[in-house]
Amino acid sequence: MIIDEYFDSIAKPILEDEKYKQLEALVAHSDFSVYDHSLYVAIRSYVYAKNKGLDLDYSSLIRGALLHDYYLYDWHKPHKGHRLHGFRHPYFALHNAKRDFVLNDKEKNIIKSHMWPLTLFTFPTSKEAWIVMHQDTVEAFYETKSCKNKLILPKLVKLR
């Protein structure tokens, strides 16, 4: 079990998808894979919202967080199609996620707006999108200043 039965029931179909597992081979920040980064953003978002007792669409929160960086390329390798990664990868992620998963409108907005304000015209339109955007920033900052061997997962999973 990752967090709790509900989180696992929503996350596992995505985490166990063969195409999604390709994220394990792609580096997000430092020595964190995109797979780990996305999972940690989902965990942070879920735990934050649960601890605050927020009335949310938790399924969309988890799914949007897991798919927010589903761009499926190594952004560290120069490629004409991947220029301006910070500005453009939400759209690549959304394109891939729509192709491989059935998404609702809230999940689509979470994915495409998670880099706001870099993506000026794709504003977060739900509490879920705002939470994922913020937790993604926190996690990315942590990952660039840390390394995996400090094992952050136990620090994240503190449901009250």
Per-residue pLDDT at 91: 78
N-to-C CA span, the chain: 17
pLDDT tens for 87-104 read 467 778 899 899 999 999
Structure-token match 């399924």, residue found = 59
Tokens representing 151 are 């094992």
Closest CA to 24 of 32, 82, 101: 32
pLDDT of residue 32: 73
Measured on CA atoms in the order 116, 58, 16, 105, is the torsion positive or negative?
negative
Q: Tell me which of 49 and 80 has the higher pLDDT.
A: 49
Interacting residues of 41 by C-beta distance below 8 A, sequence separation 6+: 65, 66, 68, 132, 135, 136, 139
Q: Per residue in 59-78, pLDDT tens? A: 999 999 999 888 765 555 55
Contacts of 130 (CB under 8 A, 6+ apart): 124
Look at residue 143 and tell me whether its pLDDT is greater than 80.
Answer: no
Q: Whole-angstrom Cα distance, residue 68 to residue 80? A: 22
The pLDDT tens digits for 101-137 are: 999 999 999 999 867 666 667 789 999 999 999 998 8
| The CATH number of domain 5-156, selected from 1.10.3210.10, 3.40.190.10, 3.30.465.10, 1.10.10.60 | 1.10.3210.10
Closest CA to 68 of 50, 41, 48: 41
What percent of the chain is modeled with pLDDT above 90? 49
Q: DSSP letter at 84?
A: T
- In the chain, the percentage of residues whose pLDDT exceeds 70 is 70
pLDDT score for 47: 95
Q: What is the pLDDT of residue 111?
A: 94
Contact 107, 81 (CB under 8 A): no
